[in-house]
Structure 1
Amino acid sequence: MNTYQPQTHSTTVGYICWIFGFFGAHRFYFGRPISGTIWAFTLGFFLIGWIVDLFLIPSMSRTANLRYNSGPYDFNVAWVLLTFLGMFGIHRFYMGKWLTGALWFCTGGLFMLGYLYDMWTLNAQVSECNHEAYAGHSAMSMG
């Protein structure tokens, strides 16, 4: 029986994000936007949660790997693009969302509100793009 599960979220990247985890970076990366927001407003739940998360990251990585679809769009690339170039919509161009990418580019990520929205929803967006790419590929191969 094949139990291989493609990796969507790297534990190593999670630990790199954890360094800035008192702002919730690793929690957003692993698809936990509510606790990520709490971490951002409370500095890692007063740094106690930040220290506890050091031991929880492998579990968060496994959960994210099971929850999100792998495919041609890499979660790590999308997160790097959002983090550093998000207000310009580069992550949206990467996912093939040309219209909203151009809108983000012209409006500074819809005046940064769209940037915050994407922090909450990027994992679901990439997973959906991967699912659509896979479904389109399967439909084409069926004839």
Structure 2
Amino acid sequence: MTYVQAVLPPKSMGVTYVLWFFFGLLGIHQFYMGKIGRGILYLLTGGVFGIMWIIDLFTIPGQLREVNAQRAVGIG
């Protein structure tokens, strides 16, 4: 029996930044990237009191590269 893994489409940088800008303190961009635990943390702490929200401005490209690489091989 052979299993075929579906290649998932990549997440968009533009969509992620729009979600970060408008809903970042609620963690919606983290949910979009599939990081549910981090999204819940942001939701409960206001983006960890706004500090992680600012850090995400610079780390989103790296986070997306990681998420999209996982999606390309069928993880996530």
Task: Give TM class, smaller chain.
Answer: 0.7 to 0.9
Q: CA deviation at 1:99?
A: 0.3
Report whether the alignment pairs 1:77 with 2:33: no
Match of 1:131 among 62, 69, 76: 69
Find the counterpart in structure 1 of residue 4 from structure 2.
Answer: none
Q: Corresponding residue for 1:100?
A: 38
- Please identify the structure whose Cα radius of gyration is greater: 1
Higher relative contact order (CA 8 A, sep 6+): 2
Q: How high is the sequence identity, in percent, across the aligned residues?
A: 39
Deviation at 1:119, TM superposition (A): 0.7
Distance 1:82 1:101 in 2: 11
Q: Which amino acid counterpart does residue 132 of structure 1 have in structure 2? A: Q
Opposite residue 83 of structure 1, the aligned amino acid is F
RMSD: 1.2
| Unaligned 5+ runs, structure 2 | 1-8
Which residue of the other structure, out of 96, 104, 110, is the alignment partner of 2:48? 110
2:57 counterpart SS class: helix
Looking at structure 1, the residues matched to 18 and 55 of structure 2 have their Cα atoms a distance apart, in angstroms, of 16
Q: How many residues align?
A: 67
Q: Aligned partner of 1:85: which letter? A: F
**How far apart are the structure 1 equivalents of 2:17 and 2:58?**
11
One-letter amino acid of the counterpart of residue 81, structure 1:
L
Question: What code does the residue aligned with 1:80 have?
Answer: V
* 1:122 aligns to 2:24 (yes or no): no
For residue 116 of structure 1, report the CA deviation from its aligned partner. Answer: 1.0
